[in-house]
Amino acid sequence: MRRLLLALPFAVLPLAVAHAHDDHDHDHAHGSLAAHEHGAARLNVVLDNTTLELELDSPAMNLVGFEHAATSAADKAKVATVRAQLEKPLTLFGLNNAASCSETDQELESPLFGDKPAVDDDGDTHEGHEHSDIHAHYQLACATPDALKRLDLSPLFKAFPATRKIQVQLIGPNGQQGVEATPANATINF
């Protein structure tokens, strides 16, 4: 499922390094380029022939408003609502209808969804760690990929207003690019 995105970190590593100097790294335990910054998310986009893959990583705070385990009825309801929103990528990501894209695969992961805590490069889990992330991976088949001229993230920003910026790394027919999307500048050209 992740065959296209596996190549992405290597292809856009220079972009990630450039952005790493701009981000305040809250992910002290990992020491990675992927900083845990409230209000910020990361999106990898790959368009290869008729396949469009989207991979969103965000602190849970941006999406559900908290990062602790959901124990109250209100917290559990909020997690369920957010999960239901994330299960509809064609609603969250504005794509040209003429491209005729349909979802072929989806994967949602987070400790808030009952998944096991992530394991870092040292083999350590960060169970009980104050930071929780949500990872969403989507694979879409687009019958007319030439109709995909841009990706509109406005619906995503509207659904999750605590998300103030998204670091986008995109590989498409015109090469690779790194862009910072905001609610005021939410459209990325392929």
Closest CA to 130 of 29, 53, 40, 43: 29
Share of the chain above pLDDT 70, in %: 73
Q: How confident is the model at residue 5 (pLDDT cuts 50, 70, 90)?
A: low
Annotate 41-99 with three-state secondary structure: EEEEEEEECCEEEEEEEEEHHHHHCCCCCCCCHHHHHHHHHHHHHHCCHHHHCECCHHH
Instruction: Give the start-to-end residue ranges of the domains of the chain.
Output: 3-189
Q: What is the pLDDT of residue 167?
A: 98
* 109 vs 125: CA distance, rounded Å: 15
Q: How confident is the model at residue 19 (pLDDT cuts 50, 70, 90)?
A: very low
3-state SS, residue 144:
coil
Read off the pTM.
0.78
For the stretch 120-135, pLDDT in tens is 444 444 444 457 999 9
Assess whether pLDDT exceeds 90 at residue 115: no
Q: What is the mean pLDDT of the segment spanning 89-95?
A: 97
Q: What is the pLDDT of residue 28?
A: 35
3-state helix, strand, coil in the chain (%, to 5): 30, 35, 40
Q: How confident is the model at residue 23 (pLDDT cuts 50, 70, 90)?
A: very low
Eight-state DSSP code of residue 6: H
Q: Which residue has the higher pLDDT, 22 or 55?
A: 55
Mean pLDDT, all residues of the chain: 82
The token pair that represents 4 in the structure block: 């296209």
